[in-house]
Amino acid sequence: MTPQTTLSDTIESTIASLPEHMQDWVRKEADLCKPDSVEIITGKVDQIIRLENELEASGAYTRLDEDVYGKRCFYARSDKNDVARVEERTVICTDDPVDAGPLNFWVDPEEMHGKLDKLFDGVMKGRTMYVVPFVTNPADSQFATGGVQLTDSANVVCNLYRMSNLHDGWRILEKQTRFPRITHSYGNLSKEDRWITHFPKELYCRTINSDYGGNALGPKKIFGLRLVGIQALENSQKKSQPDEDVGIEIVEHMALFGIDYGDRRVHFGAAFPSMCGKTNIATGVAEGPMAQHKVFTLGDDIIGGATKKGDGRLYVNNIEAGMFGVTKGMSDFANKMLMEALRNPKPEVQDCEGGPIFTNQVLVDNNGSKRVWWSESGEDFPQGDGITTCNWLGEQIDASAEEKDQKNARVTMPIRNVPHLDSAYNNSDGVPLDVALIGGRSSKLHPLISRARSWNEAVYHALCQFSEPTAAAVGQKPRYDPMANRPFIAFNVSDYAQKWLDIPKKTPKPPAVFSVNWFRRDDDGNFIWDGFGANYRVLDAAVRQLDRKDAWVETPIGLVPKPEQIDISGLKYTTTNEQLAEILVPDKEALKSEVANREGWLNELENGLETGSEGRGAPKKLPQAIWDEHEAFKKRVEEYTA
């Protein structure tokens, strides 16, 4: 029986055309949010083009020059208070706070629903509620999951169209009775009432008062990484032997790429925290002695997959179909393949997913030709006759202005435009994960590359991965960031540690784990390592070590290469042999304080954060193996620094 609602006949008949098993939910949401109309996103491009045109007509989108970027390329500005993820307002609502763990904010589900019911009441008055289907993982993969996001933001719809396989959505959803549901409204963009909430038991998320990135794009971090992460945890806990098929087993905040070695392609997953180089490493070009090794892009933010039966390795896919990439620093030097994708969009992609959507760069009007500029692009700030430039706040500026592009300005684009896209990027099986890189921004401590002596040691170091803050999330401080996944592990971090420790039991041939750090700084604060294209030289050393061609040297933080094992001939910038030797070992002073710091951190994981624990979930005991590794680390540091 259809529940009693006050919805108009038009809205009722739109809802009635949805697959039956989702009608009640959509009706309930429409009844609460009270939109003027409900529109189903079909996945067909004409509808998206109409929305783009409407956004242009309203002034929300500025169409950029077709001769520069191809068709359907737009520029948008976010609200000035809505420029990044807000971890303080990201909440996991489980019955038991232990299931959310000490790193997540936790609210009782009923209490949170009560608060949200008030905020969502009538929030879509005067607006359209779009019913948006999406698919995480390639549509033909065994892990393809359809979901639905309700949103009042046409901007979100156009972004998702470029990133989340919308056109395959209804086909996949037809086969699924249980599906993830996300309700989103940009509301009034109030910072005070901004919430990004997850209800794992219901496979349901409600997010309000943001229209930007991870806060608003449901299939990405909210569902794709956090909720699927919980499913992957539960599946892998169920799994009793390697050949058992339990569904998706692993989801991580990792870029995915391959390096060509002639007779084989080595596949790397790179877990770096937000704004620490995933997109760059997945879309860069190897240089110098590595120049003949082509780098193939598969993904730039989130991977998912499982152990392949009879093979014993983890097979993973990019779970997205597009990128939401940082523009600051994007250049031919840093990630040439992304620049090529912008310069030479494929007509078939432009006619379907569309061109890039830029948000929060500098808008340039050069005698009527509109384009964008961002910092560290290698391009001088545009100036001259007939050129006007407006910063991300919409103010007319010149080259001397302090405020130009926003630090977390991004571009949304379909991955299909990237020229070195690996042909396996959307295949049904995924690719074998040979190497997992775990990194972060560490000015002093972490070597350029290191490898733990054992699996458990690798998990311990990864749990204690340190990183300095970036602009991807509001108000961060330097912190430990387990597997570069801290903002996205939606369950207890002790279970996450156990899950990682158990990988070899479920995956007999797990990836080799290396720790990397492109971000060591000298005493003046300058980066020491060239970075970017030079990073593949470091990865080549890793491949040689895998093949046991090179013996590495012991340090307390793992085995490290000798300087001569990394070829730095003809580096584009400045790293000298002495500097290379310096950044290949952990800094002794930093190492001394690291033992106590890590001890403090592990205690916080086990007992709750020392500061800022209010409102968070509850901790539980860490696996003993982590403490054993810590004791071993302590001893090695004592000997090394004696």
214's contact among Mn ion, ligand SPV, ligand GTP, none, with CB below 5 to 8 A by partner kind, is ligand SPV
What is the distance, to the nearest Å, from the Cα of residue 484 to the centroid of all Cα atoms in its chain? Answer: 10
Q: What's the first-to-final CA gap in the chain, in angstroms?
A: 76
Per rule CB under 5 A, is residue 301 in the interface with Mn ion?
Answer: yes
Please return the burial class of 450, using the count of CB atoms within 10 Å of its CB with bins 0-12, 13-18 and 19+. Answer: buried
Catalytic status, residue 276: yes
Per rule CB under 6 A, is residue 324 in the interface with ligand SPV?
Answer: yes
Per rule CB under 6 A, is residue 221 in the interface with ligand SPV?
Answer: yes
Tell me the HSE value of 60 on the side-chain side, using a 13 A CA sphere.
15
Per rule CB under 6 A, is residue 472 in the interface with ligand SPV?
Answer: yes
Cβ 85 to ligand GTP, closest distance in Å? 9
Name the segment binding ligand SPV (CB under 6 A); options: 188-196, 217-225, 280-288, 554-562: 217-225
Return the number of the residue (301 or 495) whose C-beta is nearest Mn ion: 301
Angle of CA points 626, 632, 635, to nearest 5°: 145
| 8 Å CB contact between 88 and 106 | no
Number of other CB atoms surrounding residue 526 within 10 Å: 9
| 8 Å CB contact between 398 and 428 | no
CA distances from 425 to 140, 303, 351, 429, 431 (A): 11, 11, 20, 10, 8
Near ligand SPV by CB under 6 A: residue from 29, 168, 252, 301: 301
Name the segment binding ligand SPV (CB under 6 A); options: 67-75, 172-180, 215-223, 506-514: 215-223
Return the number of the residue (272 or 633) whose C-beta is nearest Mn ion: 272
Residues 579, 42: Cα–Cα separation, whole Å: 56
x/- binding map, residues 58-87, to ligand SPV, per CB under 6 A? ---------------------------x--
Which residue in 546, 563, 558 sits closest to 586, CA to CA? 558
Within residues 85-104, the interface with ligand SPV by CB under 6 A covers 85
Name the segment binding Mn ion (CB under 5 A); options: 3-11, 115-123, 272-280, 417-425: 272-280
Reduced to 3 states (helix: H, G, I; strand: E, B; else coil), residue 379 is coil
Return the number of the residue (194 or 328) whose C-beta is nearest ligand GTP: 328
Catalytic residue among 33, 93, 158, 276: 276
Catalog residues that contact ligand GTP under the rule CB under 6 A.
272, 274-280, 300-301, 325-326, 328-329, 334, 472, 518, 527, 531-532, 535
Which residue in 337, 297, 295, 316 sits closest to 540, CA to CA? 295
Cβ 300 to ligand GTP, closest distance in Å? 6
Q: Which residue's C-beta sits nearest to ligand SPV? A: 214
Per rule CB under 6 A, is residue 162 in the interface with ligand SPV?
Answer: no
Tell me the HSE value of 356 on the side-chain side, using a 13 A CA sphere.
32
Edge-to-edge strands, sheet with 250-252? 250-252, 303-307, 314-318, 431-432
**Positions in the binding site for ligand SPV (CB under 6 A):** 85, 213-214, 217, 220-221, 274, 301, 324, 472
Residues designated as active site: 276
**Positions in the binding site for Mn ion (CB under 5 A):** 274, 301
